Amino acid sequence: MTPLAVWAVEGIPEIVAGDDLPSIVTSAVGVLEDGDIVVVTSKIVSKAEGRQIPADDREDAITAETVRVVATKAHAGGVTRIVENRLGLVLAAAGVDSSNTPQGTILLLPVDPDASARAICTALRLQNGVRVGVVISDTLGRAWRLGQTDIAIGAAGLRVLDDLRGTTDAGGRRLDATIIAVADELAGAADLVKGKATGMPVAVIRGRGDLVGDLDEPGARSIVRLSGDDLFRLGADEAYAEGLRDGRADPNGGAQD
Amino acid sequence: MTPLAVWAVEGIPEIVAGDDLPSIVTSAVGVLEDGDIVVVTSKIVSKAEGRQIPADDREDAITAETVRVVATKAHAGGVTRIVENRLGLVLAAAGVDSSNTPQGTILLLPVDPDASARAICTALRLQNGVRVGVVISDTLGRAWRLGQTDIAIGAAGLRVLDDLRGTTDAGGRRLDATIIAVADELAGAADLVKGKATGMPVAVIRGRGDLVGDLDEPGARSIVRLSGDDLFRLGADEAYAEGLRDGRADPNGGAQD
């Protein structure tokens, strides 16, 4: 198996609204090889798209980005809303971010990260004359585990889910349940070199060219599990409260079950 | 920032019960440098520990490994239990695995993956005379997202959570909420070279020596969020059912709220 090399790209300037991010990334990454994968932090995509707004509008912005509230958590500083946002992502504060932005401003997630990934991927392929993939990453919390990891919220030109279900393991047995969310693992690997505090928002991963394919491969949106299929579509407290309300409204329902 | 290199280790034989895994891994990885991190698939740790049992005992084994049932999902082949297991992990079938095991057998997770990581780490440090870290990885599904990723279920000799809360971002603002679950990102990066079907259960990661520290750093158990603190400690259907039952039992409770 080929070794993997992951490095952060130097020389990405501070991005502002209106910047031509595909050109900037293409210049900064240097010469790419066939099968390289470029991981771009969503923050600079948002900045190029002018998604910066005044911090005073934070609560309204979260509401506007929210499709539905999944859970809420009260703490000393107020209430954090865990929501499903318009991209299908379940995350705190709908992904509205106040780090790495000018004082008094906050940043919304990109409008369409899969489309942003395609635009960057197209520019990279044209410039280099080879097939490369692009992942747009963001930093999210998880259920059941502390800490955050980077995952793919946008992607183009690569298989985001590596479906091994047809393949066999070393013992010749079929790997029935195994679909690997490789785009998320790539985003996490890139985070290991980009860091959060270094101001290096782009990384290149070399060694998984087998994942790179047509520009119209399904994007990161296809990694989202639809809430109707999700066992954790609501927080435990929220689901309990719904049940309690329904039980009180129809206390004899149990007898008919 | 240093580039990251990740490669799979060749020459790990089929592991059987009683094998001295620390010695086998130490021999196979070759010469390590200070700061290297070795990622070992939990499956071979389990095999060395003799955690293989007859497949007929599967349901009983899942029950024995389970601390509490978090959610259940009915499907054509039966009912999948999503449980909190004795390691604090929330996962399907308590981590009981039937891939990559001899026909008619299944494999339980290692007894104490943090201890297994320490044993391997100790052997690697003795052999190489340098400080290295060890991660024991397993492949888990997630809430809200399709596909599985590798995460750390055991660790020794490295910081599993990289706490950036005291640090500042490129704009000089404090990174208030950012604790990176680097051990999980390392496990995912290793999975990108190990693959599931290749029979390469060990990988080396070079380039994050800053994470490597004393042998008694907290293990992967410290990444587990305690269920009392978790907004998703129960599946939505299970929590709703609890609420419904309580509401029916005390239909006037609402009037007293």
pLDDT(A181) > 50: yes
| SS3 of residue A166 by DSSP | coil
| SS3 of residue B100 by DSSP | coil
Tell me what pLDDT residue B176 has: 60
- Residues B140-145 have a mean pLDDT of 96
Asked whether residue B204 falls in the same domain as residue B218, the answer is yes
Using the Cα atoms of residue B233, residue B237, residue B242 and residue B243 in order, give the sign of their dihedral: positive
The verdict on residue A145 lying in a domain is yes
Closest residue in B to A73 (Cα–Cα): B231
Using the Cα atoms of residue A134, residue A137, residue A142 and residue A145 in order, give the sign of their dihedral: positive
What is the residue type of B130? V
- Residues A126-140 have a mean pLDDT of 97
pLDDT(B5) > 70: yes
Q: Is B252 or B138 the better-scoring residue by pLDDT?
A: B138
State CA B202 to chain mean position distance. Answer: 14
Q: Band the pLDDT of A98: cuts 50, 70, 90.
A: confident
Mutate to test the interface with B, among A150, A234, A244 (most CBs of B within 10 A): A244
pLDDT, tens only, B57-96: 999 999 999 999 999 998 888 888 999 999 999 999 999 9
> How many Å apart are CA B250 and CA B98, to the nearest integer?
45
Burial class (CB in 10 A: 0-12, 13-18, 19+), B87: buried
Residues B36 and B205 sit within 8 Å (Cβ to Cβ): yes
Do strands A202-206 and B4-8 pair parallel, antiparallel, or not at all (unpaired)?
A: unpaired
In this complex, is the C-beta atom of B164 within 8 Å of any C-beta atom belonging to chain A? yes
Closest residue in B to A10 (Cα–Cα): B1
What are the chain B neighbours of A8 within 8 Å (beta carbons)? Answer: 1, 3
What are the chain A neighbours of B146 within 8 Å (beta carbons)? Answer: 161, 179, 181, 222-225
pLDDT(B163) > 80: yes
Residues B217 and B175 sit within 8 Å (Cβ to Cβ): no
Of B100, B178, B199, the CB nearest to A148: B178
The verdict on residue B253 lying in a domain is no
Tell me what pLDDT residue A257 has: 47
Tell me what pLDDT residue A18 has: 97
pLDDT(A5) > 50: yes
In this complex, is the C-beta atom of A218 within 8 Å of any C-beta atom belonging to chain B? no
| SS3 of residue A97 by DSSP | strand
- Residues B153-169 have a mean pLDDT of 89
Tell me the CATH number at A210.
Answer: 3.30.1330.100
Token readout for A232 is 């954790």
Asked whether residue B41 falls in the same domain as residue B66, the answer is no
Asked whether residue A124 falls in the same domain as residue A101, the answer is no
Token readout for A171 is 């013992």
Tell me what pLDDT residue A196 has: 58
pLDDT(A254) > 60: no
The verdict on residue A157 lying in a domain is yes
The verdict on residue A234 lying in a domain is no
Q: Is B256 or B104 the better-scoring residue by pLDDT?
A: B104
Selection from B88, B215, B11 nearest residue A146 by Cα: B88
Asked whether residue B12 falls in the same domain as residue B41, the answer is yes
Question: Which helix (DSSP H) or strand (DSSP E) does residue B84 occupy?
Answer: strand B78-85
Asked whether residue B47 falls in the same domain as residue B73, the answer is no
Closest residue in A to B74 (Cα–Cα): A231
What are the chain B neighbours of A179 within 8 Å (beta carbons)? Answer: 146-148
What one-character-per-residue DSSP string does B148-172 give? EEEEEEEEESB-SSEE-TTSB-TTS
Structure ipTM? 0.95
Token readout for A130 is 């080879």
**Domain that residue A199 falls in:** 1-51+110-225
Packing angle between helix A21-29 and helix A113-128, nearest 10 degrees? 50
Selection from B87, B158, B151, B155 nearest residue B117 by Cα: B155
> How many Å apart are CA B6 and CA B12, to the nearest integer?
17
In this complex, is the C-beta atom of A74 within 8 Å of any C-beta atom belonging to chain B? no
Nearest CA distance, B249 vs chain A (angstrom): 7
Residues 25 through 64 of chain B touching chain A, CB cutoff 8 Å: none
Nearest CA distance, B248 vs chain A (angstrom): 4
Tell me what pLDDT residue A200 has: 92
Nearest CA distance, A5 vs chain B (angstrom): 5
Question: CA geometry: angle at A46 spanning A32 and A138, to 5°?
Answer: 70
Of A234, A236, A246, the CB nearest to B244: A246
Asked whether residue A172 falls in the same domain as residue A76, the answer is no
The backbone torsions φ and ψ at residue A194, rounded to the nearest 5 degrees and listed phi first, read -75, -35
What does the mean pLDDT of chain A come to? 92
What are the chain B neighbours of A98 within 8 Å (beta carbons)? Answer: 173
Tell me what pLDDT residue B174 has: 64
The backbone torsions φ and ψ at residue B55, rounded to the nearest 5 degrees and listed phi first, read -60, -25
State CA B20 to chain mean position distance. Answer: 21
Tell me what pLDDT residue A253 has: 81
Overall number of domains in chain B? 2
Chain-chain contact of A5 with B4 (C-beta, under 8 angstroms): yes
**Count of other CB atoms within 10 angstroms of residue B79:** 9
Q: Band the pLDDT of B257: cuts 50, 70, 90.
A: very low
Outline where DSSP puts E strands in chain B.
Answer: 4-8, 37-41, 52-54, 66-75, 78-85, 90-92, 105-107, 133-141, 148-156, 162-163, 179-180, 202-206
> How many Å apart are CA B136 and CA B132, to the nearest integer?
14
Chain-chain contact of B224 with A145 (C-beta, under 8 angstroms): yes
Tell me what pLDDT residue A129 has: 97
Ramachandran bin of B172, using left for φ above 0, alpha for ψ from -120 to 50, beta for the remaining angles: left
Tell me what pLDDT residue A76 has: 85
Q: Is B177 or B30 the better-scoring residue by pLDDT?
A: B30
What are the chain A neighbours of B5 within 8 Å (beta carbons)? Answer: 3-6
A56's CB contacts (< 8 A; 6+ apart) are none
Asked whether residue B58 falls in the same domain as residue B185, the answer is no
pLDDT(B138) > 70: yes
Asked whether residue A100 falls in the same domain as residue A192, the answer is no
Q: Say which range, A103-112, A194-203, B152-161, B231-240, has the weakest mean pLDDT.
A: A194-203
pLDDT(A171) > 70: no
Which of B60, B76, B108 represents a domain boundary (last residue)?
B108
Of B191, B232, B240, the CB nearest to A240: B240
The verdict on residue A74 lying in a domain is yes
The verdict on residue B98 lying in a domain is yes
pLDDT, tens only, B14-52: 999 999 999 999 999 999 999 999 999 999 999 999 999
Nearest CA distance, A4 vs chain B (angstrom): 5
Asked whether residue A100 falls in the same domain as residue A174, the answer is no
Selection from B111, B97, B83 nearest residue B53 by Cα: B97
The backbone torsions φ and ψ at residue A107, rounded to the nearest 5 degrees and listed phi first, read -130, 130
Ramachandran bin of A80, using left for φ above 0, alpha for ψ from -120 to 50, beta for the remaining angles: beta
Tell me the CATH number at B63.
Answer: 3.90.1660.10
In this complex, is the C-beta atom of A82 within 8 Å of any C-beta atom belonging to chain B? yes
Q: How far is CA B39 from CA A134, B29, B204, B217, in A?
A: 26, 11, 6, 16
